[in-house]
Amino acid sequence: MTEITRVPLQPIAKGSLIKLWLGVIAAVLLGAGIAWASVPAGVEVDTITEGAGPTPGPSDVVFIKYVGKLADGTEFDRSQQLPFPTNGIIPDGMPMQVSGVVPGFAEGLQQMQKGGKYTLRIPADKGYGATPPPGAPIPPNADLVFEVEMIDFMSEEDAQRRFQVLQQMMQGQQGQGGAPQGPGGGAPGDPQAAPAAPQ
């Protein structure tokens, strides 16, 4: 039978246990910090003025006023008034389908309520990423900031119906003396004449 050699354990020096636990805690916090830093930043929506009621869904059409800026404050886009009279058939503001814009913009719009004003911060990976639209004043991998006023929103079906009514009304006016045309020379509601949405 083999004999086991006994090695006496040395007692832990005073204060060493505390140092050991502090080292373990520091390692855990460092690991958590590295994990947190590797998670991409999300879309931030800050409320300037409270809105009311429900929020739009991905297939809804929103009517908004907005200013788009780079993180350094350089303005790259601004909503324009529609260049034709709407006669109250559609709300004021630029019409956009929520699902037709960049993911971060769509995500932010779905957190906004009618009548509210918001600051929307979009990280580059939820904006244009490394490939902004050709000719756009947006550099690759740029974070974006939008000031957005949610005028109103409605279902896609309701918006299409209203644009058709507006188009018919304008076609009737053109026959009687030429009313203003929609963007691009067509009537409102014409896909080639639709206002461009920020992507």
- Token couple for 71: 């993180």
Strands (E), the chain: 44-49, 61-70, 75-78, 94-97, 117-122, 144-154
Answer yes or no: is 17 within a domain: no
Tell me the C-alpha to C-alpha distance, in Å, between residue 184 and each of 27, 88, 169, 170, 180: 61, 22, 18, 15, 11
| Tens-digit pLDDT profile for residues 11-69 | 555 555 565 555 556 555 555 554 444 444 689 999 999 999 999 999 999 999 999 99
Domains contained in the chain, number = 1
- Token couple for 168: 């018919």
Q: What pLDDT score does 45 carry?
A: 97
CATH number of the domain within which 148 lies: 3.10.50.40
Query: Range of 51's domain?
Result: 44-173
Amino acid at 191: P
User: For the whole model, what pTM was predicted?
Assistant: 0.68
Answer yes or no: is 132 within a domain: yes
Determine the 3-state secondary structure of 93 from DSSP: coil
Q: What mean pLDDT is reported for the chain? A: 79
State how far the Cα of 191 lies from the Cα of 55, in Å rounded to an integer.
Answer: 26
State how far the Cα of 195 lies from the Cα of 192, in Å rounded to an integer.
Answer: 9
Answer yes or no: is 80 within a domain: yes
Answer yes or no: is 187 within a domain: no
